[in-house]
Every structure is written in structure tokens, then in C-alpha cells.
Amino acid sequence: MSCPAFVGTGTLLREGECVWGRITGTNTRYFSTPDDGGYHQNALSYQTGLQTEFAPDWFFGLTGAYTRAIQSDPDRITGTTSDAGDVSAALKHQVGPWLFAASANVGYAWADNKRLIDFAGARATARSRSEILSAGGRLRASYQVLFGDWYIKPYADLDLLYSYSPAYSESGAGDFNLDVRPLAKTLVAFSPNVEIGGRIDLEGGRWIRPYGTLGMMVLSDDHFTGRASFQGTGALGRFATDSSIPDRLGEAGLGLQISLGNGVEVTGEYQAQVGDQFVAQSGTARLQLRF
């Protein structure tokens, strides 16, 4: 939800008015451990948005996104195909090299799940449909330090994340079907980062902005506890399962923004997150038009 561009002939980045669209592909792997089976997920997201300046140095942004993801465990025992949509709004204020921003988003995801069962010679597939409601908010502050044809921009994000999955039931596997209880989770995340970039001038007022980012994310918790029971067994078949996520992630990225003239800009970006038994990589292609 941003429209940064160089001011004049310098390297100060300023927010602006634009419409934009981008496509992001993500590959995520959580490697199995003795306590957790791990998973592998591929996702493709389509996002579009706009940003306008409603008062001097005050900006409002609005975006919408759709994501399709396919997830499985290493042994292909379980699999999930999910679709998700979300909308976000942002408010920003720029004061010279300072930028302050606040954003909020709500999302809804629906998934088709399958679980293969092979027990004592009995083979079956349990199927279910689950949903996730999510909401979040982010505060960001950044400051840009200029050095001729390059810059350093330290920034920090504070996120509040909430998700809720209603109860659902499996079918197709008889006594092995599960009734899954509702699950709610709230997390707080803090992310200090730094961006280093530069400016390469081309003919006709066009330019190229190569940049890189480096930082980390710290989460307030690293466990999810789900509760379920086998159908027909009541309290006797009730059990809890723990899933873990890394609570500390290293983050790094590389990007290239190119001004093509007449307000048209394209951006390519690579991002990676690395944690304990966890690797996520994403690539983004973005087109924006300034007005």
C-alpha cells in the first residue's frame, strides 16, 4: 500500500498518488521435527490498490487481494487447498524524511482439507471444509538518511494479528472422522528493519531504484493448540494437538523499481524469511501508474 518515488533529482523518497497492481508467488516450508510433522505450501496472490493525498502530506490507501494456496505435509498424508480474500486501508503522514503509517485489514479464507487414514488395514480419506476469519493492524515509522545518490532508511513495524477458525467436522472416514473445536489466536509482532537503496538516472527524467532490506520479526507466541474428538466417542475421544511456528524470523529482500516515464513504474522484488526449521520465499511483480 505504498507509492514511493524520488523527489526531484535527489534520493528522498516521497509518497504519492497512484493506482497499482501486483502478483506475488510464495513458497513456504516448515521442516518436520520429532514434535511436529511440518508442511509445504505454495501460494499465488493477486492484489490491487490505490493511494490518494487528501491533505498536504497526508495519504489514504485502500487495497484488495485474493490468494490461492496449496499445502501438504511431507508424507502427503494431509492436504489443504485454500482461497482467501482480504481488504486493507492505510493512513500515512510524511514529514520530510519521516514517514508515519497506520493500517488495518480484515480477511476471510475457506479451505478444502483431506486426511488420509491407513490403520490396521483400513484405508479411508477424511474430508472437511474449514474457514478462517482474520483481522490485523500495523503501525510503522521510518526515517530516511540521504547520502548523495544512495540512502539508508531504518524502519520498524508493530503488528497486532487475530485469527479465528470456527468448529468443523470431517466426513468420509466413519469412526475416524474428527469434530474439530473452534480455535482463536492473537499475536503481537515487532519488526525492526533497514533498507539501503540508490538512484541511477536514465534519459528523459527516468530512473532506477535498486534496494535491499534486512531485519527480523519477533512474535509474542510460537504455539497453536487445537482440540478435537473422534465422532461418536464424546469426551472419551477428545484430545489436543500442539503446532509450533518460529517466534523469531530473519528477513531479507532485494528489489528493483524502474521509472518508465509518464508516471508508469514497474517493480520486481524478492523476499525471504528464515527461522527455526522454517523458510519462506516470495517473488513479486508490480505495475503502478501515478496520477
From 138, 274, 161, select the one nearest 215 (Cα to Cα): 274
197: confidence class by pLDDT, cuts 50, 70, 90: very high
Higher pLDDT, 159 or 33: 159
The residues, any chain, with a CB within 8 Å of residue 236's CB and separated by 6 or more, are: none
pLDDT (tens digit per residue) in 73-107 = 876 678 899 999 999 999 999 999 999 999 999 99
Q: Answer yes or no: is pLDDT of 115 > 70.
A: yes
pLDDT (tens digit per residue) in 269-286 = 999 999 999 999 999 999
234: confidence class by pLDDT, cuts 50, 70, 90: low
CB 115 within 8 Å of CB 123: no
The CA distance from 283 to 256, in Å, is: 12
> In the block, which residue shows the cell 492484489?
47
Take residue 188 and report the three cell numbers written for it: 503481537
* Cα separation of the two ends of the chain: 16
What's residue 224's pLDDT? 83
Beta-bridge partner residues of 287: 21, 266
Quick one: average pLDDT of 249-265?
A: 96
The CA distance from 200 to 241, in Å, is: 53
CB 36 within 8 Å of CB 243: yes
239: confidence class by pLDDT, cuts 50, 70, 90: confident
What's residue 90's pLDDT? 97
The CA distance from 284 to 21, in Å, is: 10
